[in-house]
Structure 1
Amino acid sequence: MALTASDFCKFIFALILPPLGVFLEKGCNSDFLINIALTILGFIPGVIHAFYIILKY
C-alpha cells in the first residue's frame, strides 16, 4: 500500500479537524459519525481514528 500526495493532505486535515480527514477518505457514512463522536469525547481519539481510517483505506 503506497501513500499518495492526497493521503498526506488528508493527514494534515485529520490533525486540524479529524472528521474532515475521514470525510475526505470515506464520505458521509458510519465511520464519519463514529469519528465525530470520538472527537467530541476527546480530540486525540478522533485523530487516532482518522489516521487509522486513512491508512486502512
Structure 2
Amino acid sequence: MSLILIGMAMGIVIVEFGLLNLLYFFDWGLPEKEPAEKITTGDEVALDLVQVILP
C-alpha cells in the first residue's frame, strides 16, 4: 500500500512540473497591432454574476 502512495505522489509531482514548464516557456504576449485596452479579462462577467446571485 505504501508503494502505491509513493507512486501517486511522484506522478502528481511529474504532472505539476510538466504543467509548470508549459506555463513558464509559453510565449505570453499580446497579438501584434492589438491595443491592450481592447482585450477583455472577464472581470465584468464575474461582477455581473455576483450581482445576480446576491441581489
Q: What TM-score do the two structures reach when normalised by structure 1?
A: 0.27
Relative contact order (alpha carbons < 8 A, sep ≥ 6): 1 or 2 greater?
1
Larger Rg: 2
Q: What TM-score do the two structures reach when normalised by structure 2?
A: 0.28
